[in-house]
Structure 1
Amino acid sequence: MKTINFAIDLGTTNSLIAKYDDGNIKIYNNPLGLKQTLPSCIAFRGNRTVIGDKALDYLEKDAENICMLFKRKMGTQDTYFVPSIDKEMSPIELSSLILKELKNFVNDEESLGSVVITIPASFDTIQSNATKKAGYMAGFKEVVLLQEPIAACLAFANTSHIEVDEKQNWIVYDFGGGTFDVALVEVNDRELKVTDNLGDNYLGGADFDNLIVEHLIVPFIEEKLKLTNLWKDLKSKESQFKGLYFELLKIAEEAKKELSHYEETEIELDIDINNTNFYEQFSIKREQFEGLISPKVEQTIVFIQDVIKNNQLLNSQIDRVILIGGSTYVPLIKKRIAEAIGVEVNSSIDPTSAVVHGAAYYAGSKPASILNEVDGKEEKEDSGKELLDVKLFYEQNTRDLEELLSGKINSKAVNSFRIMRKDGGYDSGVKTLEDRGFSEFVPLLEGRLNQFKIQLLNEALDVVKTLDSVSINQGSYNVQGQPLPNDICMEVDDLDASATRLEKVFAKGSILPLKKKIYKTASKTILQQSKSNLIINIIEGKSKGLPSSGLSIGYIELSGKDLNEDLIKGTDIEIEIEVTESRDLKINIFLQSCDQEFKNVFSESERAISISKINMEINTVLGDVEDLIKSNNSEENFEYSQQLETIRVGLIETQIAASLIDNNDVSDAKFQLDDKKRKLIQDFDDLTRNKVIAREIEEYSDTKLSLEYHLNKEENERFQDKYKRIIKNEREVVNSGNKYLIRSKIKELDELYDSIIQSSDENFISYFLNLKFCENFSNQRKADRLFKQGDQAMEKQDYKSLRYIVYGLSALLPDNEKEKQKNFKDDSRTGLS
């Protein structure tokens, strides 16, 4: 079984490539500079493209033709205009050039058809798809994505030789050049499992560089040259200072590195500005630098505290913090982590190469799904013989001293098998196949790469085929799959609210790949050839949030013109949703009543972000926030009002910051603001949802209390079993924080209540008396007449007549009338319920 073996850390500022080779990891050096890292920087020099360190050298000479930091724009429609080639380059195209250059580092004869590429754990589906697309554009035929914290853990666990006898909790703190992730990892004596993660795709060392430029370098230049608005002009695609922004970022990065080792550094500016050479020097102290970056560092500390708190852990239950990413060289980071959570901070592995090191371990255990060129030739030469399809199953890396080796064989020509360890220390002998397969525990040499040869034999014990590529590395950790970084949800109708809501399909943390069948009913009738639509919208984001706060990753719209038959309201719709390990989304829809199937595979790699869109979405929420503040102030609910005020101020600040940015801004500012906007909207949703849920829980308790009053009557004892089934999981439902679950439980109790009431005419007495407290019937004269008839029926103890009088009064209730009218109105939006 051929494994992928090759891995790439595609970084914001630096990238690396490594190979798993017989239990060892080889990180390739750049043939030109003999460095392991390749700066993720590209220079365009007419018909010549320069990548890496040489490209950085051109920053001083030709900065406007340099592209860098493009990983932060993966998954967006932003492009980089390159005057030298008169062309817009996308982040995907630029990333593919980095990947191609890394392929040139490998001088082995082996073909690179498959590769593992690492991504931040908080990358959404669109960013992940963009990374895969860059891999395919670079010429790889198979691209498998791996989350960076998993890779880092594999590197640490497999190189530090630590012994874990009982379960431990590790925190991986990944602060790279462009992104930040914190992951909670559960480790035992056999494997690693990422249980939770949080992160920010627009928080990294590049932000430290930006702060130095904005608050130290730019004010210095403005003062010396008597300039204004230099910071804004620097970042504009159409500015007279084209390329100077990236040149100053490079100078700031060097200063940052110096200040990670020394208390003070000298910034030397030798730049062309306004057609004149500007040469000046000034000093920066570490204290100044730390004052600038402190708010960003504190953001990362909050992420650590949140991931610990969200998993009901104490700081004392975290066994170690593993630092990876170049930004962790900054002394303030180690200091703040130690102060905030008091846990051992481990930087024993090289933070710049840990990710590719661990990814290579993963690549060495991941079967390749394609044949390389050599394999293809061998298969072709052997095409005259019967092609044996053999599938092997075993762990490439294990902590156990024996491993289960299993195989399935499709040929009747094979009757038996024999497994031998290549050092001669183990031989299974010839054994007969069972059900066209075999399973055998093979002993392993401790701390070594164990290689095995498997012979497949016919009835005459002649060797039909030999498999000699089975390698098991004893003493290495394996990983229990990759977790889903966000909930995957489906948008469905909430007919009670004339809106839509999210219904969770896969929960955050579920191990990829995932597949699920969902059965829904049509919430409206769609006539053949009509313009009515059935919408399947799959959203990535918090399942408890508003649909607008998530990210649409798969959208299918079916109209009446797509149907062979009418889709009748209430008929079944079968939806199969699959998410692959590399985050491809597959949707399959089956309409039973029409006997039709629709399917699609989604791998969206771009999304548009505009300043006007950010402002529009803020305005939509801002009005609701301000209305709630007013109503809570009038009710003297000042504490709740203050929480809303904090969100309002955050939204306004975001809107002001967005209004100061041009759409042609080349920095990451609008992406950071879009991220901030989404989080503020989620905060608002969380805050208001808590009040709604409190009301729903209160209504649930009242409904339950009223129902129990009737259940305690002897004649209603037969309803007890059904009642117990309804409330069986009430703790789980009430604590879920999901208003739709609680509402559905209230509905079940209401239906049981109605059944009890209608089971006996006498039960309508209390119902009738309660109706007397109601006011504003739709037809008051008719209501008065029914009340008079009801009083007469009570006197005569004619409870059968009383039942129909109650029905008549209920129909006159305004809310009931509205509900009645609503049944005839099409409030469905998606067509799913």
Structure 2
Amino acid sequence: MSDTIDFGIDLGTTNSVIAVAENDTVTVLKNNDGWDITPSAVWIPKPGQIKVGRPARDRAFRDPQNAAVEFKLEMGLADARRNFANAGLELTPQQLSAEVLKSLRADAAHHCGTAPDAAVITVPAAFTLNQNKATTDAALLAGLTTAPLVQEPTAAAFAYGFHDADDRAYWMVFDFGGGTFDAAVVSKHDGELRVLNHAGDPYLGGKLIDWAVAERILGPQAAGQLDLRDFRRESPRWGRNFAMLKNAAEEAKIQLSRLERVEFMVDLRDENGDTQTVDLVLTRDELDAVAEPFYARAINFCRAALKDASLSPADIDRLVLVGGQTLAPGLRERLADPQHGLGIELDTSLDPTTVVARGAAIFASTLRRPHTVPANAGADEFVLELAYEPSATTTTPTVAGRVSGPATDWKGYSVVLDNPEGRPPFNSGRVLLNASGAFATDVAIDKGRTSKFTVELIDDKGTPQPITPNTLSIRHREVEFGGVRLAHSLGIQLADGSFAPMIRKGATLPVTEREVYTTSIALGRSDPDAAVLIPVLQGERDRGDRNRKVGMLEIRPKDLRIDLPAGSEVEVTFEVDSSSLVTVVADVPLVQTQFEAMINLADVTTPAPEQLEEMLSEVEQRLTSLRRSVSAGGSPAAERLLDKIEEEGTIVTGREQVQAAKVDAGAAATAEERLRNIQADLDDVEQAVQVPALAQELEALLDEATELVKVNRLGDSGDRQALADLRRRVQDAIQAQDVAAMRAQQERLQMFLIEVERRSPDWPVKVFAFLRDVLAPTGQAGPLIREGERAIAQNDMRALEGVNQRMIRMLPKDQRDEIEFGGLNRR
């Protein structure tokens, strides 16, 4: 058995693939049908009989009551289930994925002799924490005791990195699969392969295009021929018919990769339940028109990924196509167009349907298998704990280790590392162990090959002793991996509702970050219902509730030894391992207590159709209102954002998925994600609408400040310099259309004006006027108002300042906003 994991699995929405790195090559393992790909489908026709792959996929649309497909989109939803009527079974997406993984392990066993117990599994870069956790759970159910995760575009980059001869290049991976879309910007410089940035959507895939074709084009054709009433996907009555149409759409889409028009027949049931054959037609133009918004959304993700990496399409040497959807001619034409697409040279040198599994296998060959001491190892046996990298870009890597066993004194003990098959053969000679039984030595490995070494232990009398393990292998690579990157920022929601990222998207894993915050409320041990609730969030939006909540930190009085005053320090620590699994801890130094976040990945559920309809209604009303505001306000930035929403068809797709959610948990998850994204996009529109008015306010404040400083000469040279700096900052914020920056400069300008006006002789009069306007309606400040007016008439500024102080004390105290979530402030 190899020292490294070696097996890579692309667990896809539509199809899955397994590959293995062996003998310095990568092989895609074929299944029993002789195919490289195994459809991600499960069919259970009767109790005790489970079919996976092609036979299951062929039955999925004819026998939907006993078959399941596309369950990857429901991974991580705690309440998602697929029913199998004949067998009386109900399986989760994790269990169904485990059946696919078992089938792939069986294919590996046929090739290698034994089924692997370890494999790297790929996941979309856009997958959320609960979806990653569900994938790990599926691997365990399938018998994979070790299953590191790696993002799909990263795996594709590995495959191209070793296939490509160029030593310095920038690529973009365009991964459009059956259920998900990912874009990744990749750098290959000086022998290091690094993923610079990710962007994507876990619910944007070819399946959405198939359903759109079925609902918008094929469904009306069929309904017209059979005179079907209420023929909609969300109607349970027509579930089988729409499954047939969706399958037909997928097959027609594949044929349209080579043809301009396809005609085909589908057997559907009529109003009486009888089977009728209908003749359907689909053209490439019709397909492209339906697919266009989905293509636009994918391309916009690519542009965003490039922008975040401070690159442009002109900087990218090639666009690497991954996923079955990239075979579509319409998409390739759009991508090649520099105006409507990306204008980057397309690279199709590797099979887009198997490249992810190949890359996963390459990555797996750099990961050591976990070594465990054999259960039957006794105290009189020698055991070797090795420390080395199984993949190296140098030809003289270091191998270290520590021997444990029956010896009490390691003096005179040594190890010998030997590779007689090396070119030339290598032998380390005797490497002496130190007092604790440890050693370290450099070895020589062959360039471009895997070098296999035996390890021999020699005791103080020169006698060889058996040791476990006694072999190791190191593979030489021309390219070094730059590490797996975090796909989404992680952080907490603060008391003001904002998102405070702790670990930014793109961080190399594993990673740990700490930040100190302060509590926004006091916690008294006498109040058992009080709590500091700190949502743990995943996402990129400034507003907390626009991101995905993945956990909760709770600090409650019952867990405290003493009362906790407001403003107490809380040190929050985020730790993410190499498979993106997260641990969050809050440490409160004042009470010397730690609190671990409940990362509720198993509690994410499918939103109810009624909840989704309410969300959709809110989005549509808000969109209509903002359209009116944009038309009236004339904000070019807001118009561009609205055009982008229209271009991507997110409202149309969201509406269709909300309707389909009544019969499809995957559609419900898609709808929720779409609606959350639209709300966040509308936040941006709303901010952009404010830009013209904010710009006018800022210009007016600048004019007022200029009047005070230069005309009225209230300011000194320092004030004039500060005003010039403020003017520059204001202009930068307006030019960037950055509402947050504009508001920050508005606040600075107002503070500047107050500071300058304080030097004015009539400052107390201005303060009095403000206080009078605030307090006069209450009727409680009448005597003070009259006293202040007399002071002004007598030009007694000292008396007026005393009146102002008493009036200030009459103002009501600010009431602290009650925030449902969020109990920390920035320190």
2:158 maps to which residue? 154
**Residues 396-432 of structure 1: CA deviation (Å, up to 9, x unaligned):** 153x444455557789737766555442544454556
Which runs of 5 or more structure 1 residues have no equivalent in the other structure?
A: 495-499
2:778 maps to which residue? none
1:560 maps to which residue? 557
What is the DSSP-based 3-state SS (H/G/I as helix, E as strand, rest coil) of the residue aligned with 1:672?
helix
Cα distance change of structure 1 residues 137 and 566 upon mapping to structure 2, 3 Å threshold? same
Alpha-carbon distance between aligned partners in 2 of 1:784 and 1:641, rounded to the nearest angstrom = 49
1:43 maps to which residue? 43
1:508 maps to which residue? 505
1:695 deviates by: 8.9
2:145 to 124, 141, 144: 141
Alpha-carbon distance between aligned partners in 1 of 2:630 and 2:248, rounded to the nearest angstrom = 51
Q: Which moved more, 1:692-701 or 1:459-468?
A: 692-701
**Residues 287-328 of structure 1: CA deviation (Å, up to 9, x unaligned):** 443343333333333333333334332322110111111222
Q: Is the 8 A contact 1:42 1:51 kept in 2?
A: yes
1:542 deviates by: 1.6
Alpha-carbon distance between aligned partners in 2 of 1:146 and 1:183, rounded to the nearest angstrom = 13
Cα distance change of structure 1 residues 514 and 452 upon mapping to structure 2, 3 Å threshold? same
**Residues 159-208 of structure 1: CA deviation (Å, up to 9, x unaligned):** 34x131x3x21011111122121111111132221112222222222233
Question: For 1:625-704, what aligned pairs fall within 5 Å after superposition?
Answer: 636-637=633-634, 657=656, 661=659, 663-666=661-664, 668-689=666-687
Kindly indicate whether residue 491 of structure 2 is the aligned counterpart of residue 493 of structure 1: no
Alpha-carbon distance between aligned partners in 2 of 1:425 and 1:707, rounded to the nearest angstrom = 85
Alpha-carbon distance between aligned partners in 2 of 1:734 and 1:137, rounded to the nearest angstrom = 55
Kindly indicate whether residue 111 of structure 2 is the aligned counterpart of residue 118 of structure 1: no
Alpha-carbon distance between aligned partners in 2 of 1:694 and 1:458, rounded to the nearest angstrom = 83
1:393 to 388, 393, 398: 388
2:486 maps to which residue? 484
Q: Is the 8 A contact 1:767 1:806 kept in 2?
A: no
2:576 to 569, 576, 579: 579
Cα distance change of structure 1 residues 36 and 471 upon mapping to structure 2, 3 Å threshold? same
For 1:229, the aligned partner's letter is: D
Q: Which moved more, 1:80-89 or 1:701-710?
A: 701-710
What is the DSSP-based 3-state SS (H/G/I as helix, E as strand, rest coil) of the residue aligned with 1:684?
helix
1:602 maps to which residue? 599
Q: Is the 8 A contact 1:514 1:579 kept in 2?
A: yes
Paired positions, count: 792
Cα distance change of structure 1 residues 652 and 147 upon mapping to structure 2, 3 Å threshold? closer
Q: Which moved more, 1:247-256 or 1:419-428?
A: 419-428
Alpha-carbon distance between aligned partners in 2 of 1:463 and 1:692, rounded to the nearest angstrom = 80
For 2:587, the aligned partner's letter is: F
Cα distance change of structure 1 residues 257 and 752 upon mapping to structure 2, 3 Å threshold? closer
For 2:767, the aligned partner's letter is: L
Q: Which moved more, 1:566-575 or 1:688-697?
A: 688-697
For 2:85, the aligned partner's letter is: P
For 1:103, the aligned partner's letter is: R
What TM-score results when the alignment is normalised by the length of structure 1? 0.82
Cα distance change of structure 1 residues 751 and 265 upon mapping to structure 2, 3 Å threshold? closer
1:445 deviates by: 2.6
Cα distance change of structure 1 residues 450 and 787 upon mapping to structure 2, 3 Å threshold? farther
Cα distance change of structure 1 residues 416 and 683 upon mapping to structure 2, 3 Å threshold? same
Alpha-carbon distance between aligned partners in 1 of 2:419 and 2:361, rounded to the nearest angstrom = 24
Q: Is the 8 A contact 1:46 1:85 kept in 2?
A: yes
Q: Which moved more, 1:84-93 or 1:736-745?
A: 736-745
**Residues 457-500 of structure 1: CA deviation (Å, up to 9, x unaligned):** 67777767586544332244332222222221201112xxxxx2
2:320 maps to which residue? 322
**Residues 76-98 of structure 1: CA deviation (Å, up to 9, x unaligned):** 33322221123332211211111
For 1:149, the aligned partner's letter is: P
2:380 maps to which residue? 384
Q: Is the 8 A contact 1:171 1:184 kept in 2?
A: yes
Alpha-carbon distance between aligned partners in 1 of 2:295 and 2:134, rounded to the nearest angstrom = 28
Q: Is the 8 A contact 1:529 1:562 kept in 2?
A: no
For 1:253, the aligned partner's letter is: E
For 1:537, the aligned partner's letter is: P
Cα distance change of structure 1 residues 696 and 294 upon mapping to structure 2, 3 Å threshold? closer
**Residues 487-534 of structure 1: CA deviation (Å, up to 9, x unaligned):** 21201112xxxxx21111111111122212222212111111421111
Q: Is the 8 A contact 1:585 1:601 kept in 2?
A: no
**Residues 73-129 of structure 1: CA deviation (Å, up to 9, x unaligned):** 222333222211233322112111111111111223556332211011111112111
Q: Is the 8 A contact 2:537 2:549 kept in 1?
A: yes
Q: Is the 8 A contact 2:452 2:474 kept in 1?
A: yes
Cα distance change of structure 1 residues 109 and 737 upon mapping to structure 2, 3 Å threshold? farther
Cα distance change of structure 1 residues 289 and 656 upon mapping to structure 2, 3 Å threshold? closer
For 1:830, the aligned partner's letter is: G
What is the DSSP-based 3-state SS (H/G/I as helix, E as strand, rest coil) of the residue aligned with 1:351?
coil
Cα distance change of structure 1 residues 292 and 492 upon mapping to structure 2, 3 Å threshold? closer
1:389 deviates by: 3.8
Which runs of 5 or more structure 2 residues have no equivalent in the other structure?
A: 776-780
1:497 maps to which residue? none
Cα distance change of structure 1 residues 804 and 577 upon mapping to structure 2, 3 Å threshold? farther
1:128 maps to which residue? 132
1:177 maps to which residue? 178
Cα distance change of structure 1 residues 419 and 738 upon mapping to structure 2, 3 Å threshold? farther
What TM-score results when the alignment is normalised by the length of structure 2? 0.83
What is the DSSP-based 3-state SS (H/G/I as helix, E as strand, rest coil) of the residue aligned with 2:580?
coil
Question: For 1:533-572, what aligned pairs fall within 5 Å after superposition?
Answer: 533-544=531-542, 546-572=543-569
For 1:139, the aligned partner's letter is: G
Cα distance change of structure 1 residues 22 and 731 upon mapping to structure 2, 3 Å threshold? farther
For 2:377, the aligned partner's letter is: E
1:712 deviates by: 8.1
**Residues 641-698 of structure 1: CA deviation (Å, up to 9, x unaligned):** 7568769998976786566x26532374433332321222111222334577999998
Cα distance change of structure 1 residues 272 and 446 upon mapping to structure 2, 3 Å threshold? same
For 1:26, the aligned partner's letter is: T
Alpha-carbon distance between aligned partners in 2 of 1:442 and 1:71, rounded to the nearest angstrom = 44
What is the DSSP-based 3-state SS (H/G/I as helix, E as strand, rest coil) of the residue aligned with 2:147?
strand
For 2:143, the aligned partner's letter is: G
What is the DSSP-based 3-state SS (H/G/I as helix, E as strand, rest coil) of the residue aligned with 1:55?
helix
1:67 deviates by: 0.7
2:107 to 100, 105, 110: 105
Alpha-carbon distance between aligned partners in 2 of 1:260 and 1:505, rounded to the nearest angstrom = 45
Alpha-carbon distance between aligned partners in 2 of 1:80 and 1:487, rounded to the nearest angstrom = 32
1:367 maps to which residue? 368
Cα distance change of structure 1 residues 417 and 696 upon mapping to structure 2, 3 Å threshold? farther
Identity of aligned residues (%): 23
